[in-house]
Amino acid sequence: MGALATAMVAAVRQRIADQGATNIKTDTTLYRFLSEGQRRLAEDLSDAALYPLAKIDSTVIQAAVAAYDLPADFLRENLVLYKGIRSRRWETVDEDALRRNAQLTPSETVPFHIIWGNQVRFPRIVPTQTGAETIEVWYYCIPPEISASQEPLLLVPYHNTIETFAVARCFEMWEDYDVAAIEQAHYLEECLLINSRYSGKVAFDGVPNDPRLEILAGGQ
Amino acid sequence: MAAGDITKAMRDRVRATLGEYSQQGVGDAEIYLHMNRAGYDVGWRLADAAIPEMTKRATGSMTSNQITLPSDFWRERVVYIGSALVMAKWWPISQLDALYGIQGSTSTVHVPSATEPYAYIWPAAESAAVKINVLGPAATATYELYYQIKPTDMSASVDPVYSTTTCDAIVMFTVARFREQAKNFPESERVFRQYREKCMVTNSRFAPGKRYEGAPG
């Protein structure tokens, strides 16, 4: 347990030439930077790239109870199911529309939900329960802190990017802001690359073709 | 050629470029660490068509309309279903209710079936593993999954899975990382630009929609 996490610390230490821990005395700081980097990726990457963070929280409905706690590691939801039916996300500031507008009348077969106060709530529904019917929140989780005993949730192909983020933070800590900016630019470039694999409807694929001559000449 | 010899030759090219021939300055393990990170970076950076050695096909039968992700799975490309090899359409999670019969949907624009299957990647239930879910075909239909694999880490006894030309890029990336480690950031950036350009040239041979061919004229 923790082999990947300790390898990430070693990689960062190597990149900042601090293998002997003479500048950063303990690994705690590095784990914090790495954890922040993993959390940043959870926000900087497109959803499809984040499938290791995908989770479902299932709760048995209680009769007449319309609000349910979100899971502790909730980052953002992808969809909410009420008794197996997709619920429509609604905004708190527009909640009155559910009362005024006949087109938007919530029911157990046309559910709406609002996320507020760390709960998912189904306004203007008085839930019934005939057995073990559930609500399901399909969500992306906040990845737990990386440590010597907690591996990163994101897969190994993402670790280099997380490490680059941590390296940038180290130089920032040492007030070497120019280098920190370079590393941060690398981080953003790597995010762009990853997202390019998932954005749009056209897959990142290709068939052989003639290269552009200016590229062969060394230009860009 | 023994297993690991290609990796060791790459290691020695890194050493030669750095002028660090002795383990006194740079240890082998340090070189392999950067080389392995490079293996992932090129996997993101290069077009799939440029790295056929990193693509793989897995076959089998689904369980409850689900396909378990292979242990070397990096990212998905295509899923074909059944003996007729019908391609499943990847579908966004947030719009699953656009599919007929899913999550209360009665829309008939998209009706999953054996000849029109849809697929998405998500756990099936709370605490369940992330899997590929295929809607439409029989629960135990056969499948062919085309995907990109994670590279195996290189070491003195394990050769790279990448082709020789991609290994050239890996060496450049590794050199850039050692310049960074030596706090020679301008030189690190210069080498990294070369690495980036090499990847761009490689990708330019595989741009989508055009074939590497010509008509006589």
Q: B212, A138: Cβ pair inside 8 Å?
A: no
The DSSP-derived string for A156-183 is GGGHHHHHHHHHHHHHHHTT-HHHHHHH
What pLDDT is stored for residue A200 in this prediction? Answer: 57
Q: Please check whether residue B77 is in contact with residue B55, taking contact to mean a CB–CB distance below 8 angstroms.
A: yes
Q: What are the chain A neighbours of B123 within 8 Å (beta carbons)?
A: 54-56
B73 in a domain, yes or no?
Answer: yes
- Expressed as residue numbers, the domain containing B66 is 54-149
What pLDDT is stored for residue A199 in this prediction? Answer: 62
Q: Are residues B193 and B131 part of one domain?
A: no
What pLDDT is stored for residue B197 in this prediction? Answer: 93
Tell whether B123 lies on the interface with A, counting CB pairs under 8 A. Answer: yes
Q: A210, B212: Cβ pair inside 8 Å?
A: yes
Q: Which of B24, B30, B44, B121 to mutate to test the interface with A (most CBs of A within 10 A)?
A: B44
Residue ranges in chain A whose pLDDT is less than 70: 1, 199-220
Tell whether B5 lies on the interface with A, counting CB pairs under 8 A. Answer: no
Q: A209, B44: Cβ pair inside 8 Å?
A: no
Q: Are residues B177 and B145 part of one domain?
A: no
Q: What are the chain B neighbours of A10 within 8 Å (beta carbons)?
A: 33
- Round to whole Å and give the CA distance between B22 and B28: 9
Q: Where are the domains of chain A?
A: 52-141
Q: Are residues B134 and B68 part of one domain?
A: yes
Residues 6 or more apart whose CB falls under 8 angstroms from that of B84 comprise: B115
Q: Are residues B72 and B45 part of one domain?
A: no
Predicted TM-score (pTM) of this structure? 0.87
Q: What are the chain A neighbours of B97 within 8 Å (beta carbons)?
A: 79, 86
Q: Are residues B83 and B61 part of one domain?
A: yes
What pLDDT is stored for residue A144 in this prediction? Answer: 97
**3-class SS shares of chain A: helix, strand, coil, % to 5:** 40, 20, 40
* Cβ-based neighbour number of residue A170 at 10 Å: 22
Q: Are residues B61 and B125 part of one domain?
A: yes
- Round to whole Å and give the CA distance between B121 and B124: 9
Question: Quick check: helix, strand or coil at residue B172?
Answer: helix
Domain count, chain B: 2
B88 in a domain, yes or no?
Answer: yes
B100 in a domain, yes or no?
Answer: yes
Q: A58, B183: Cβ pair inside 8 Å?
A: no
Q: A156, B150: Cβ pair inside 8 Å?
A: yes
Q: Are residues B76 and B121 part of one domain?
A: yes
Q: B90 to chain A, minimum CA–CA distance in Å?
A: 9
Q: Which two tokens stand for residue B130?
A: 């992330």
Residue ranges in chain B whose pLDDT is less than 50: 211-215, 217
Q: Are residues B62 and B125 part of one domain?
A: yes
What is the chain B residue with the closest CA to A83? B103
Q: Are residues B171 and B99 part of one domain?
A: no
Beta strands in B31-159 (DSSP E): 55-61, 66-68, 73-81, 86-87, 89-90, 118-123, 130-135, 142-149
